[in-house]
Amino acid sequence: MWLRLTLPKGLFIAAFFCALLLGASAAYLGYWFSSSHRVDAPGETFVVHQGWPLQTIANELEAKSIIFHPRFFSLMARLFGDATRIHAGEYVLSADMSPAAILKKFTDGDVILYRVTLPEGMTSAQFVDVLNGIPELEGKITDVPAEGTLMPETYTFQRGMLRSTILEEVQGKMSLLVDKLWESRPADTILKSKMDFITLASIVEKETAAAAERPLIAAVFLNRLKLGMPLQADPTVVYGLTKGKCSLGKRLLKSDLQTPSPYNTYLNPGLPPRPIANPGKEALQAVMNPAPVNYLYFVANGPHSHVFASNLAEHNKNHSNWRRIRSKQDATSDK
């Protein structure tokens, strides 16, 4: 026997209207969540700080008139399972973005990325000054890393990142590259340690910005080391005078070359005690793969180039030519 259950007419009507109301509410929520409500409003940036709960994010969005129903925003985020997947960071929110699009941007971590470049040959003190001067970063760096431990490159970061985090990345990349290149060093290299390797590369880096010249200059210094000749590298003298904190601001004088310093390679034989800057990949590779030449000297013959010699007589001739070029330049600049 089948039992037939019937609902009272009033209860049926009430249930119908409840279902209708729920459907209408869901439809409104869906419409509100997927539609932009900032007509003619400008786009703007919005920062989600680390550790902010969902309701705080929603309230801040409302305070900036980016959304108008923070509770609905929080509810929909929880319904979609996105409440715990929001990334901290700085976001660009355009005027036509719906709450759903804003939430997706937060969960995708589509943050604004900034860039900082460590150029080849920059000293560690100079790079720390650059990092400490970036307002989007946090946590001041007080200890300057050793020279030669930072990898020249362009790095990306987002607002609120710790400066120390960037520094760790920069140091990690340099360590990996140096280890890799040192493992492939020539069996007959005169360099005794990774420190020697980086130190010589830093001198090569400071001597020239021309990629084609780096293997030649590396060869000159390696040839000199093998013969026990002083390196006589001007950049090491400059580093001894400035400690890498600033540029010398003038042309080197004979008195500078006679100023005692552990970094003065005119007065001291061999390599200086430490690197004088942070060399780039090409300078490091040049030291590991120097040009097969017997050059022992080089001198500038223009603003970005050098001329090389294997004996002192030839070098003196080249040097005299450079003095003439520089005299003409000085005379022109004085007019």
pLDDT (tens place) for every residue of the chain, 335 residues total: 455 555 455 554 554 445 444 444 444 555 444 555 554 455 688 999 888 999 999 999 999 888 888 988 898 888 877 778 899 899 999 888 888 889 999 999 999 999 999 999 999 999 999 999 999 999 999 999 999 999 999 999 999 899 999 999 999 999 999 999 999 998 889 999 999 999 999 999 999 989 999 999 999 999 999 999 999 999 999 999 998 887 887 888 889 899 999 999 999 999 999 999 999 999 999 999 999 999 999 998 877 789 999 999 999 898 888 788 777 666 565 55
Residues 105 and 125 in one domain: no
122 and 108, same structural domain? no
Rounded to the nearest 5°, which phi and psi values hold at 308?
Answer: -115, 155
Domain of 156 in residue numbering reads as: 114-173
Indicate if 94 and 123 belong to the same structural domain. no
Integer Cα distance of 223 and 47 in angstroms: 56
Global pTM value: 0.81
Q: Which residues of 173-210 are buried (b: 16+ CB within 10 A; e: fewer)?
A: bbeebbeebbeeeeeeeebeeebbbbbbbbbbbbbbee
Whether 160 and 210 share a structural domain = no
Residues 199 and 156 in one domain: no
Last residue of a domain, one of 95, 112, 129: 112
In a domain, 8, yes or no: no
Total domains, the chain: 3
Residue closest to 194 by CA, chosen among 240, 242, 237, 149: 149
Do 96 and 138 share a structural domain? no
- Structure tokens belonging to residue 215: 């293997």
Strands 297-302 and 44-48 turn out to be unpaired
Closest alpha carbon to 151 in 181, 128, 119, 179: 119
Same domain, 150 and 105: no
Residue 182 lies in a domain: no
Domain-embedded: residue 243: yes
Give the CATH number of the domain where residue 84 resides: 3.30.1490.480
